[in-house]
Structure 1
Amino acid sequence: MASPPSRTRTPVMFIHGLWLHSSSWQGWADKFRDAGYEPMTPEWPNVPDSVAEARRHPDRQAGVGLAEISRQHATAIRDLGGVKPVLVGHSVGGFIAQHLLGQGLAAGAVAICPGQIKGVKAVGPAQAKATFAFLGNPANTKRAVSLDAGQFRYAFANAVSREESDELFEKWTIPSPARPLFQLALSNFARHSPAKVDTHNNNRGPLLLLSGKLDHTVPDVLTRSTFKRYRESSALTEYQRFDDRGHSLIVDSGWPEVADASLTWLADQGLT
């Protein structure tokens, strides 16, 4: 876990999603540090410090769910001694960013291709294909599961070349608990779902929802539907879309464009 940030800089916490490691944010952390922020990259519960170690010990995080992931990041925020960070989350990390923001724990958030919150009902064939291999087996709720190269290509890296997809797969992918995937997918059937976010909080910080039009794992329709869930809140919520990007947009060769868009939006909100 990164050291607590300097109190002279705005802390920014990066939160990854399924099948990626916190170290995948390194380029973002460097760019945000150059822009005046102090980056933090806390890990999910029980995830080892490196990609190699996470691959060697997949069962350490088996069964971890949304509540545990959110709670661990909330603890890291509280360790800042009252300073509210900016949050940048991707996929499940984008859900976690919204969950923490809704609790008033952050100054603002950028949720990139965020996992669907309770109340979002849109779904498409691409998303079903990207997740069926794991959701089709209920026993996976207690397991850590891995993508193979073909699954990663379809779910993450369909908008880049095959060569780049294979490089990203070898560099960044790790096993991840399947439980969050089930919790997000089944949230509308659970009365007390951990996927519920306070979308009515009028006092929270601003939120930007970023989407990739070519995303198979979190299709753009889901992000737009999430955006609509916030319409009853007077707090600022905005939506932006990258028409040529898929789910890998935070780690593939086009990530600087997404990071720059996030930095520009945060600066526009005075969150620097």
Structure 2
Amino acid sequence: MKANNTKTVVFVTGAFVSHNGWDQWKAYFENQGYTTYAPAWPHKDAPAAELRDRQPNDTALAGLTFKELVDHYANFIKALPEKPIIIGHSLGGLITQILINRDLGVAGIAIHPVPPQGVIPYEFSFLKAGYKVFGLFTSLKKTYLMSLADWQYAFTNGMTLEEQMQTWEENVIPESKTVARGGITSAARVDFKKAHAPLLITSGEFDNIIPASLNLRNFKAYKQNGSVTDYKEFPGRNHYVLGQPTWKEDADYILDWISKH
């Protein structure tokens, strides 16, 4: 089935943030006739403030692995009546690439994705923005919570202080260090040579944590085999791309891309 004949969309959430960040995207796609889902990660189906109250002793979340997270989304998709279009952001973008590699979607859109294993993220801004979640020399039994200062650098650079504070309150939740570490293991492997459903990778000009240059290397890792693999860099976007004032432009580009495939 072609993507433009499918009316089901699954949104895949990234690390550090609530799945409620997809709410306006869900409403927008539903107004275009799609049935949408944005399932929470295991142990994250609660308001952001409530999840922060569990920090750092949410042992269930701390024990979550990347493989379990990918399987969580895979099992959700397998239970749907049709193969969906899969749209993921950041670590959710990596999961999208993995699920498309498993032939679980009719199309995939990876928005500023964390790269799969083998695409080396050597950019300084990536290391500065993301290294703390690995929790080196800290207990894996405790979760990690991104500070406001780190949120300002990693997600909301270029926004006003008021916007940065408000978006932190609304979105930021504790994270599993085990999941983060799994993102650099074989659980994050993609077979770049394998034929796959149409895949679009997008990036943002001002994204610090997942720089555009890293997304471009991710795109270029795919081998030419007749599969559709497209790339688009948007000007002016940081990593909070889902909530920036320009989010509808990104959504419209994605909707148009889906309509052509």
**1:156-181: per-residue Cα shift (whole Å, max 9, x none)?**
00132222111111111111112232
Alpha-carbon distance in 2 for matches of 1:126, 1:27: 28
Structure 1 residue runs without a partner (length 5+) = 1-7, 188-192
Q: TM-score, normalised by structure 2?
A: 0.91
Q: What residue is the counterpart of 1:160 in the other structure?
A: 159
Tell me, yes or no, if the aligned pair for 1:9 and 1:38 is still in contact at 8 Å.
Answer: no
Matched, 1:131 2:123: no
Q: Which runs of 4+ in 1 moved over 6 A?
A: none
Q: What residue is the counterpart of 2:22 in the other structure?
A: 25
Structure 2 residue runs without a partner (length 5+) = none
The size of the alignment, in residue pairs, is 254
Matched, 1:220 2:219: no
Q: CA deviation at 1:109?
A: 0.8
Alpha-carbon distance in 2 for matches of 1:159, 1:261: 23
Matched, 1:249 2:241: yes
Coordinate RMSD, CA, aligned: 1.7
Tell me, yes or no, if the aligned pair for 2:49 and 2:169 is still in contact at 8 Å.
Answer: no
> Which aligned pairs between 1:187-266 and structure 2 lie closer than 5 A?
187=185, 193-202=186-195, 204-266=196-258
Alpha-carbon distance in 2 for matches of 1:161, 1:126: 20
Q: What residue is the counterpart of 2:178 in the other structure?
A: 179
Identity %: 30
**1:175-233: per-residue Cα shift (whole Å, max 9, x none)?**
1112232233x44xxxxx1110122221x210000101211111111101110111243
Q: Report the secondary structure of 2:241's partner residue.
A: coil
Alpha-carbon distance in 1 for matches of 2:114, 2:15: 10
Q: What residue is the counterpart of 1:61 in the other structure?
A: 61
Tell me, yes or no, if the aligned pair for 1:164 and 1:252 is still in contact at 8 Å.
Answer: no
Tell me, yes or no, if the aligned pair for 2:200 and 2:230 is still in contact at 8 Å.
Answer: yes
Tell me, yes or no, if the aligned pair for 1:208 and 1:238 is still in contact at 8 Å.
Answer: yes
**1:113-161: per-residue Cα shift (whole Å, max 9, x none)?**
1011011024211111112333362435443211111110000001322
Tell me, yes or no, if the aligned pair for 2:133 and 2:175 is still in contact at 8 Å.
Answer: no
Alpha-carbon distance in 1 for matches of 2:10, 2:233: 22
Q: Decide which of 37, 42, 46 is 2:43's aligned counterpart.
A: 46
